[in-house]
Amino acid sequence: MPRRRPGAVRAARRLEERRLPDWARDFPPIDRLSLETSAAIRFAEHSGAGEHLQPGGTAQFLRSYRAFLRRPGRTLRLIASQCPACPGCQYDDVAVVRDALGDVVRVLPPRARTELREVLTVLDTEFRRRTLPDPDPAHWTDWSGRPYAWWHRRLYEGD
């Protein structure tokens, strides 16, 4: 009886691990993402792997990010959340929305991660172009001295 090579066994095992459940494919695709990537995102959202992951959250985050970039005017300023500790209100700040999208990217399998990163690269380029960097170095780090991500170091309204 012929044997399968060990590499072929490992490859088949990896393929089985990546297989997504059928229920994740039953939903319509997320805006501008393939059906496979949308299914991987839905599976990650239901696994609860990250702080910002909740069912349907990624689609809402992408809508919020795009809505911010569609605002009129040449230069945009970020709007801070009125209640940043509130689980729902914190997403009024587009920088927190971008943090959430970064969390989604980190938990996705490689192919889906690449596709979502490509979408975010386009949106981030527009975000950088239409917002101004914050010139005050005091706003560049958190209370522990760690630097914020670049999207937090942009000018907010009222600064």
Rounded alpha-carbon distances, angstroms, from residue 148 to 30, 34, 118, 139 = 28, 31, 22, 8
Average pLDDT of the chain is 85
Q: Does residue 81 surpass a pLDDT of 90?
A: no
pTM of the complete model: 0.81
Longest dimension (CA), the chain: 75
Average pLDDT over residues 4-27: 65
- Is 60 within 8 Å of 134 (Cβ atoms)? no
Mean pLDDT computed over 73-88: 87
DSSP assignment, residue 49? Answer: -
Q: Is residue 45 within 8 Å of 56, Cβ to Cβ? A: yes
130 closest CA partner among 87, 69, 85: 69
Res 10 pLDDT > 80: no
Structure tokens, 61: 């985050």
Bigger pLDDT: 143 vs 129: 129
* Torsion region of 145: left, alpha or beta (phi above 0 gives left; psi -120 to 50 gives alpha): left
pLDDT value, residue 16: 45
- Give 146-157 pLDDT, tens digit per residue: 899 999 999 998
* Bridge partners of residue 131, in order along the sequence: 76
